[in-house]
Amino acid sequence: MSGTTDTWTTRAAELTGRNVVVVGGSGGVGEGVVRSALAAGATVVATGRDDARLAALAQRMADAGLPGTLHTRLLDAMTPGLDEDVRSLAREFGALDGVVVSVASWGDQGRKPALALDDDEWQRLLDGNLTSVFRLFRAFLPVTAPGGVLVQLNGMSADIPFPGSAGVALSAAATKSLTLTLAAELGGRGPRVVQLVLGVVRTRARQQAGIDDVRWIDATQIGDHVAGLVAGTSALAHTPLQYFTDRAEGPIAGRGLR
């Protein structure tokens, strides 16, 4: 990364009257997106699989006094009732202007060489990182507004080898391909579909654990960029593949492997 001086700026988004769902909103990166969308005035639905984490997120956002409105909902991408759960959200809140998918599972297998994974470990990693994203796309696309956007947040393991975490890395590469394929299949008909590949992110949890570097991207910087994608004011609003890996450089259009 090139330093701590940011050479880019994000135009403040205006999302009053817009509905934004952040799947994985209680996670470190997801929380940054929730915060930025609330700051822009959106009605935000943060989903997760843990009631306590969602409640803690809601309290932090209430303490921040942001102008938007936050709702939290339990949502599990792998349950048989996912489609109906998503349709229920749409009935409650109306067409969704932005859906942000920020999910990842490191599994419980620890760091292992690729071929040391057993079948069960392999399947759990694929379910947590690939099948979950596929099911979320399938469920949310029909209830996303035609002028809205569906964004998947991904990591650099989508592009580079990741020894010791093969299941995570290959899932990241596969979801990148899935997102870009979906964008190509839609061909501009219906919601925009965006793959946003991220570098190392400064999250609240990392900072609390004493793991921090001012050169890393702030989660709220990612959130500010995503808010611009939802509003349609970002210069990259119609760019399917984007990278945000260098804090100083900011988000850029991608053309493949970097």
The 3-class secondary structure across 4-69, one letter per residue, is CCCCCCCCCCCCCCCEEEEECCCCHHHHHHHHHHHHCCCEEEEEECCHHHHHHHHHHHHHHCCCCE
What digits encode the pLDDT tens for the residues 85-121? Answer: 999 999 999 999 999 999 988 888 999 999 999 999 9
Q: Is residue 45 part of a domain?
A: yes
What digits encode the pLDDT tens for the residues 159-205? Answer: 999 999 999 999 999 999 999 999 999 999 999 999 999 998 877 77
| Closest to 19 in 3D by CA, of 157, 166, 140, 111 | 140
4 — pLDDT class (breaks 50, 70, 90): low
Q: According to the model, what pLDDT value does residue 3 have?
A: 47
Q: According to the model, what pLDDT value does residue 5 have?
A: 64
Q: Is residue 126 part of a domain?
A: yes
Q: According to the model, what pLDDT value does residue 1 have?
A: 39
Q: Is residue 12 part of a domain?
A: no
Length of the chain measured in residues: 258
Mean per-residue pLDDT, 43-61: 98
Q: Is residue 2 part of a domain?
A: no
213 — pLDDT class (breaks 50, 70, 90): confident
pLDDT beyond 90 at 49: yes
Q: Is residue 4 part of a domain?
A: no
Q: Is residue 14 part of a domain?
A: no
Q: Is residue 136 part of a domain?
A: yes
| Closest to 132 in 3D by CA, of 48, 227, 193 | 48
Q: What's the alpha-carbon Rg for the chain, to the nearest Å?
A: 17
Q: How many domains does the chain have?
A: 1
257 — pLDDT class (breaks 50, 70, 90): very low
CB of 248 within 8 A of CB of 4? yes
CA distance readout (Å), 170 to 93, 129, 157, 237, 249: 35, 9, 8, 27, 27
- Phi/psi for 146 (5° steps) reads -55, -30
Amino acid at 221: Q
Structural domain that includes position 36: 19-252
CA distance readout (Å), 185 to 97, 190, 192: 20, 11, 11
Mean pLDDT over the full length of the chain: 93
Instruction: Report d(CA 121, CA 107) in Å as an integer.
Output: 8
CATH of residue 247 = 3.40.50.720
Q: Is residue 6 part of a domain?
A: no
pLDDT beyond 90 at 215: no
pLDDT beyond 50 at 2: no
